[in-house]
Amino acid sequence: MDVREDIKQLENEICLMRRELHQIPETGFNTKKTLDYIVDKLTTFGYDTFDFSLAKNSVVVQLKVNDAPTSIGFRSDMDALPLKEETNRSFASTSENSHACGHDGHMAALLGLCKYVMEHKEHIKKNITFIFQPAEEGPGGAKVMIENGLFTTYPMECIFGVHMMGEVDEGIIACRPGPMMARNGELFVDITGKGTHGATPHLGSDTIVAGSAFVSALQSISSRNINPLHSSVVTIGTFHAGSAENIVAETCKMKGTIRAFQDDTYELIKNRIQEIAEGIAKSYQVNIDARVVDYYFVVDNDKKLYQLLDTVLKDELLEIDPKMVAEDFSFYQRQVPGLFYYVGTRSKTYDQNLHSAKYDFDEKVLLHVIETNVRLLEGMDAYD
């Protein structure tokens, strides 16, 4: 059986599904149109049992080929970004949202796999669970689905996921064993001082000066508190204070992000933020409320699954460096062995990166994803 040639027959349909999904981008858990589209396609492929109970506008469907309690999982995210598209394509988004992170491609590729394995059901040796998950961009649909019983309802041997990647050449599968994407949290800082006239600063407590000192001190965490061999990021992205040129600002607000590849490094960053906040508050006679909201864990690829990927791709796999971006696929990997990989989309025509309003890709890369997933099934003796 020529898997590649069989998958090639799906090219036009995969392309159409991607473009139709591209036109209806929805954010967070508000993915009802997207869900309806997915269920309609799955129904035409022959699936008839759908589980909508695990998260708002999510769906889980299985291909059952035996009575074994376990399955192999494949997940796609569904949500888009609140970003107006600027691709000028004929199938561009019809709303103020856009699939600038490639999730339309993830869905089309997983739908393609759903169709392929249904059409070749006689060759499938293990049960397969397909997960269509909303809210990857936030607040995190994976965590909700797990909390609502994903792995108790559908026990899995392992789980696979994929992401488009504009920094990798078109069609190349890229991955690495162990930590590949960072753990992340968002930092929210509120500083309260005492306002006064700009000509009498000694009568107030200046939150701009205190805030500036706080931002500067944060930079010492990665450079002086963290092991130089352990990468980390502490970034302040917004800083808002003041209302007039002659008023000492009474309040200051800022937001930022923290990232690390080790849990102990991440926790150390959080602790140092609090210690710095206490010290700056005392030094500048202000109150500082610094809160870190934990988001996603490290995407930590199972080494045996990575070796499987390397074996089935036969030297076509690109091993890449870790990236400081984050993904809620990491929640699945805290429960079962998981592998998350990239498919490259970069070419002379498609040279924009993810989260760009101009991001786009050639749909033929999705065939590489489907073939890779079929090869993984072969390698696990789940497909012959």
Residues with a catalytic annotation lie at 77, 137
Structure token digits, residue 345: 């989309």
**Helix/strand/coil percent split, the chain, to 5:** 35, 25, 35
Question: Which of 172, 168, 214, 167 is closest to 190 using CA atoms?
Answer: 214
Compute the distance between CA of residue 236 and CA of residue 326 in angstroms, rounded to an integer.
17
Give 271-315 as a DSSP string.
Answer: HHHHHHHHHHHHHHT-EEEEEEEE----EEE-HHHHHHHHHHHTT
Could you tell me if 72 and 126 are in contact, meaning their C-beta atoms sit under 8 angstroms apart? Answer: yes
In order, the DSSP letters of 219-286 are HHIIIIIS-TTS-EEEEEEEEEE-SSTTEE-SEEEEEEEEEESSHHHHHHHHHHHHHHHHHHHHHHT-
Please choose, from the candidates 196, 194, 186, the residue with its C-alpha nearest in 3D space to the C-alpha of residue 287.
194
